[in-house]
Structure 1
C-alpha cells in the first residue's frame, strides 16, 4: 500500500507557517513594546570595544528591553549594528526599543557639569576634573602644553596657564583631555578675543599675554568686583615707576608644595615668578582670570596709590606712600610687612 505524502507536507508547511508567524509576532511584540512603565532614568555606560551582544545583554539585565536577541535583530534590520557610540546614556524602562537604539547611536551622551572657578591654576583645574572622573591629572597637565594652541595665541610661557577660561562646562566621561582643554581655550577666544577687548589691548601697548598675566595677579589679589580696577591701578603705577610688584600670589605660585604660609625666606626664592625679587610682570599668568579681571587690567582707575593691604574682611586699604602703608599694616595686620 502506498502512503500519501500530501497530508504530512501540509502539516509541516502549516507548522512552519505557525512557527514563523509566532516568532515574527513575538519579535514584533518584543521590539515594539517597552520593557515596562518605569520612567526613572537609568545611566547605561557603553565602553570602547563593547559588542552589540554585550550591549543588548546589559540592557536586558537592567530590564530596559524585553529580549536581547530581538534588540540585536532590530539593530541589524535597521542597519545600526555598527553605529552604536561609546559613552553614558540616560535610558528609561518606558522607552521603546527603537527609541533606545536611536539614543545609543545618536552620540547624545550624558554630559556632566563642572564649574571652573575664577583664579584656579591649571593644576587645580586638573584636580577638579579628576574629582569629577572627567580627566587624568598627568595627562591633562601634559595636554596643557598644547603647542598648536600656544602658537595660535602667541603664548611664550611653558603652558596654557591663564588661558583655560573659567566657566561652567558640560563634558562626557569619554571626552579626551585634549578636547576638554580645546573647549576651554575656544571659550577663552570667544569671550576674550572680541573686537572691543582686542582694540583696548592695542591701545594699552601691552601684549595679550601681558594683559592676561596682569589680570591673573588682580584675580588672585581680590574677589571684590569693585576693587579690581583699584588693584589694577596700583600695579600699573608700580610698573610705570619701575617698582617691584611685590604681590604674594606670585610667591605662592613659585613655591613647590605651598603649605598655606608665606615665610620671610620665601620672599627670596629665585624664581622669575617671584615679584619680590624681580621687577616687572612674571613670565606668564599664575591662574585663570575671569573676564572682569581682564577688563580691570585694561581699565585701571586713576589713582596715585602704590600700596594696598588686606583689611582681613575681603577688602583692602590703599596708600600712596610707604609711611601711610606701614600705618595701615600695623592697623590691619598682626605683624609689620613692608613693600619696597
Structure 2
C-alpha cells in the first residue's frame, strides 16, 4: 500500500514541478514581437481574462500563451492590480515583464510641443488635433477656461509656457493647459523676483506682455536685451512702441506686408496709434524673452530696424534711424520700431 501512495505522490510532485517549469519557461521567454511596435489599450474595469483575450486577439500571444499568461498573473496575485491605459509593447518583451508593465501602469507617453512665439490659438489647435488628448474645451468661453485655470488674467493669450509636455493617452486638454499655465507662473514669478531695479513696467503681467513683443521682434537671443532697452526707454519717455508684430496681431496675425493704412488702424493692439503696452500679450513668450523684458540693455537706442539677416540696426536718434531704414529696407516699410 505504501509504495502505491508514494508513487502517486511522486507523480503529483513531478506533474506540479513540470507545470511550474513550463510556466517559468513561458514567463521568462521573449515574446519575439520583432521590430513592430504593438499598442495595447486596456479599458477601465477590464478583467485579467479580458486582458488575456485582448492579447490573443491582437496576436501578441497565441491562444495557449494567453492561457499561460492568465495563470502566471494569478500565480503572482496580480490579477486585480492591472491598470487601465494605453501601452506600447516592443522588443523582446517577456510575459513576466509585460505583467509588471501592466501592474505599475507603465503607459505610453505622448508629447505636445509649444513653440516660442506661437499664439494661444496655435496651442489650442494642436490640442484639438492631437489623437491622444481628450477634448473638453470645445464649448467653453475664454472666461470659463480662465476660471478653470484659476488665472487672474483677462485673456488666455501669452499665459502658457512654451515647452514639450508629456502625457498618457486620453489626458484631458484642460489638464495640459493647467500644466503649461502653472509652468509659466513658476517661471514668471522667479524671473520677476530677480528683475532689474529700474523698469518702465510695474507688474508681472506687463512683463509678460512686453516679453511677447520681444519674442516676436528678436530672432537673435543676444539682441533681445537691446530690443527690450528700446521699448523700456520709449515707455519711460511716453513714446509709442511702434512695434509691427502688435499690428499684425491686431489684424489676426495675417501674413502680409504692413501698409500705411494698417499703421493707422484703430485697434487697441496697434502700438503706432495707442500709447503704452497693448492690453494683452501677443504670443507665448519663452524664458529668454521674459528675462530680456526684465533685464533691458542700458544703452541709448530708441529705434531699431531689421537688416534682413535676422539682426537689427539700433539708433539713438531719428535721423540715424531714417538713414538705416533707407540702407536696410530699400524704401520698404521698416520691420521693427519705426520713426515716430
With the length of structure 2 as denominator, give the TM-score of the two structures. Answer: 0.79
Matching residue of 1:59: 55
Deviations 1:66-123 (A, max 9, x none): 4334434444554544543333323246333232122123222222344322212112
Cα distance in 2 between the residues matched to 1:222 and 1:307: 13
CA positional deviation for 1:31:
5.7
Cα distance in 2 between the residues matched to 1:300 and 1:141: 41
Is the CA contact (8 Å cut-off) linking 1:65 and 1:97 kept in structure 2? Answer: no
Q: Are positions 1:236 and 2:261 aligned together? A: no
Matching residue of 1:139: 137
Is the CA contact (8 Å cut-off) linking 1:165 and 1:184 kept in structure 2? Answer: yes
Matching residue of 2:87: 89
Give the aligned CA root-mean-square deviation in angstroms: 3.5
| Stretch deviating more after TM superposition (165-174 or 82-91) | 82-91
Matching residue of 1:206: 202
Q: Are positions 1:313 and 2:309 aligned together? A: yes
Q: How does 1:186-225 map to 2 (within 5 A)?
A: 186-194=182-190, 197-200=192-195, 204=199, 206-225=202-221
Residues 221, 136 of structure 1: CA spacing in aligned structure 2 closer, same or farther, 3 A cutoff?
farther
Q: Are positions 1:28 and 2:26 aligned together? A: no
Is the CA contact (8 Å cut-off) linking 1:41 and 1:90 kept in structure 2? Answer: no
Q: Are positions 1:166 and 2:170 aligned together? A: no
Is the CA contact (8 Å cut-off) linking 1:201 and 1:207 kept in structure 2? Answer: no
Structure 1: stretches of 5+ with no match in the other structure: 1-12
Q: Are positions 1:304 and 2:300 aligned together? A: yes
Aligned residues: 322
Cα distance in 1 between the residues matched to 2:146 and 2:94: 44
* Secondary structure at the counterpart of residue 179 of structure 1: helix
* Secondary structure at the counterpart of residue 60 of structure 1: helix
Cα distance in 1 between the residues matched to 2:339 and 2:60: 67
Is the CA contact (8 Å cut-off) linking 1:31 and 1:70 kept in structure 2? Answer: yes
Matching residue of 1:8: none
Matching residue of 2:3: none
CA positional deviation for 1:227:
0.7
Q: Are positions 1:293 and 2:282 aligned together? A: no
| Stretch deviating more after TM superposition (268-277 or 226-235) | 268-277
With the length of structure 1 as denominator, give the TM-score of the two structures. Answer: 0.79
Residues 93, 227 of structure 1: CA spacing in aligned structure 2 closer, same or farther, 3 A cutoff?
closer
| Stretch deviating more after TM superposition (229-238 or 97-106) | 97-106
Residues 244, 93 of structure 1: CA spacing in aligned structure 2 closer, same or farther, 3 A cutoff?
closer
Cα distance in 1 between the residues matched to 2:97 and 2:221: 48
Residues 96, 192 of structure 1: CA spacing in aligned structure 2 closer, same or farther, 3 A cutoff?
same
Cα distance in 1 between the residues matched to 2:312 and 2:220: 9
Residues 304, 257 of structure 1: CA spacing in aligned structure 2 closer, same or farther, 3 A cutoff?
closer
Cα distance in 2 between the residues matched to 1:136 and 1:325: 51
Residues 72, 263 of structure 1: CA spacing in aligned structure 2 closer, same or farther, 3 A cutoff?
farther
